[in-house]
Amino acid sequence: MSKNTPKAIRGTQDIFGPDAEAFAFVVETFERVRKLYRFRRAEMPVFEKTEVFARSLGETTDVVSKEMYSFEDRGGDSLTLRPEFTAGIARAYLTNGWQQHAPLKLATHGPLFRYERPQKGRYRQFHQIDAEIIGAAEPQADVELLAMADQLLKELGIEGVTLHLNTLGDRESREAWRAALIDYFSAVKGELSEDSQERLEKNPLRILDSKDRRDRPFLADAPKIDDFLSEDARVFFEAVTSGLDAAGVNWIRAESLVRGLDYYRHTAFEFIPDEGSAAAEALGAQSTVLGGGRYDGLMESLGGPATPAVGWAAGIERLAMLVGDRPEAAADIVVVVEDDEMIEVGQEAVSAIRNAGLSAEFIASGGKKKRYDKATKVGSHAILSMSDGERRLRFRSEGADCERVAAQLKSLNLD
Ligand code: ATP
Ligand code: MG
């Protein structure tokens, strides 16, 4: 690399090898599980008008006030690289008339952009899988969405991660709680961290989320949402928790879990590694792998009709860290031609093999004597070598994979 080779942008990643396999495994498993729950696939734009996020998430949230990649395009519009999926999906729901599909279960995945301090598990371009149920007011939707998240983690083989669940109540409960929090924290304002003093004005719920030492002593005795829940909100939350129990989803109550964005109502949740678990070790400080909640107020903030909805997103990189390195799969077969006269015969064979659904590597270049050595260096179940007038098939292991490969080769008359 010369000095004038451009460097990658800070906080971006070039994902390759076993890391890329783990990443792909997360996405493939998500694709499989979302089909089990019959979520429909959507592909969303990577950028939107800035107001889509500013109006949905709230101007005072960290994401909008500090983390967005916004720019003016050549036509003078203010655009933003999406920092999350939900706002863009809500915009699409309204602009495309997707109301006709309600209740709409949607799944998507892709890159997101946030101007954050890069560190392990925290990037400026990262990736999420995302699931939303739009146009469903009943607690059963929350249960289904959470059951899917729980099954996904299980199918990824991730252990030691637990669902932390809270309710923020309906608008009325949330406002009463908010007022009580302002009263409570105002009394000790001078002792709070600078961040929390600022939150007190703009976003007092967020103080409960603080990791600052100076705020900690005041968190345990802060007013609890349960004391402010309206009857409706209490009944709703009970239906969610009993539904989770019936679905076999493990959860714990997290009274101070609030989530950063303004649009949440009722259910709010995060999947967090258990203290001291291998998962907690693997993730370090960036502990939340999946988060979401109910956002009944969001569509209205975009000028649409009141539309109940619930969703979650999970960081693919963080899930991949918990999955761990995954080896790249061995080839079913390596076809090696030891004479150049055999290249076309070899090409014919390898095409037939791939068309039959076996994975194959073709080696037909470089020093003739070295080609077989090269073939043995590729991880594979079998090697088919072709030289003038001779074809040799060698199996390199035993078991189901070899039997599958052998059966296919037999049907192709290549055994
Ligand atoms: P955090 O508290 O870690 O900043 P968040 O509340 O900002 O997370 P959400 O907006 O809820 O995160 O996004 C859902 C998930 O996306 C997170 O749980 C995490 O797995 C992942 N995530 C969020 N920001 C990043 C990032 N900068 N880099 C990598 N993954 C991220
Ligand atoms: Mg964040």
Q: Which of 13, 128, 209 to mutate to test the pocket of ligand 1 (most atoms within 8 A of CB)?
A: 128
Q: How many domains does the chain have?
A: 2
pLDDT at residue 260 greater than cutoff 80: no
Lowest mean pLDDT among 34-48, 58-72, 342-356: 58-72
**Residue 128 assigned ligand-binding role:** yes
pLDDT at residue 42 greater than cutoff 90: yes
281 in the same domain as 261: yes
For the domain that residue 376 is a member of, what is the CATH number?
A: 3.40.50.800
295 lines ligand 1 (CB under 6 A): no
Given the CA of residue 83, which atom of ligand 1 is nearest to it? 10
pLDDT at residue 316, rounded to an integer: 98
Q: Mean pLDDT, the chain, as a whole number?
A: 95
Sole residue written with tokens 């083989």: 157
307 in the same domain as 350: no
- Backbone phi, psi, residue 298, to 5°: -65, -45
Q: How many whole angstroms from 111 Cα to the centroid of ligand 2?
A: 15
| Residue 76 Ramachandran class (φ > 0 left, ψ -120 to 50 alpha, else beta) | left
309: three-class secondary structure by DSSP? strand
Q: What is the 3-state secondary structure (H, E, C) of 35-78?
A: HHCCCEECCCCCEEEHHHHHHHHCCCCHHHHHHCEEEECCCCCE
Mean pLDDT for 213-233 is 94
pLDDT at residue 261 greater than cutoff 80: no
Mean pLDDT for 35-57 is 97
Residue nearest to atom 21 of ligand 1 (CA): 315
Ligand nearest to the CA of 66: 2
116 lines ligand 1 (CB under 6 A): yes
Sole residue written with tokens 């077989």: 372
The residue type at 240:
V
304 in the same domain as 393: no
Distance of CA 169 to the CA centre of its chain: 26
Closest Cα to residue 105, out of 41, 31, 27? 41
The CA–CA distances, whole Å, from 237 to 7, 57, 206 equal: 49, 23, 21
Q: Which residue has the higher pLDDT, 261 or 75?
A: 75
Choosing from 305, 323, 341, the residue where a domain stops is 323
| Strand bridging mode 47-49 / 78-81 | antiparallel
314 lines ligand 1 (CB under 6 A): yes
Q: How many whole angstroms from 259 Cα to the centroid of ligand 1?
A: 11
For the domain that residue 141 is a member of, what is the CATH number?
A: 3.30.930.10
Does residue 210 fall inside a structural domain?
no
Q: How many CB atoms lie within 10 A of CB 71?
A: 12
pLDDT band at residue 154, thresholds of 50, 70 and 90? very high
User: 22: part of which helix (H) or strand (E)?
Assistant: helix 18-36
Does residue 32 fall inside a structural domain?
yes
**Residue 114 assigned ligand-binding role:** yes
Cα-atom radius of gyration of the chain, to the nearest Å? 27
Does residue 189 fall inside a structural domain?
no
**Residue 275 assigned ligand-binding role:** no
The span from the CA of 365 to the CA of 255, in Å, is 64
Choosing from 279, 299, 323, the residue where a domain stops is 323
Does residue 196 fall inside a structural domain?
no
Closest Cα to residue 150, out of 317, 38, 312? 312
Q: Which residues pair with 162 in a beta bridge?
A: 272
Q: Which of 85, 126, 261 to mutate to test the pocket of ligand 1 (most atoms within 8 A of CB)?
A: 126
Calculate helix-pair angle for 194-202, 171-186, nearest 10 degrees.
Answer: 140
Range of the domain at 135: 17-170+230-323
307 in the same domain as 239: yes
Closest Cα to residue 84, out of 64, 105, 60? 64
Q: Which residue has the higher pLDDT, 256 or 117?
A: 117
Does residue 205 fall inside a structural domain?
no
- Of 121-135, 246-260, 283-297, which one has max mean pLDDT? 121-135
Closest Cα to residue 20, out of 323, 284, 272, 273? 323
302 in the same domain as 371: no
Q: How many whole angstroms from 201 Cα to the centroid of ligand 1?
A: 24
pLDDT at residue 6 greater than cutoff 80: yes
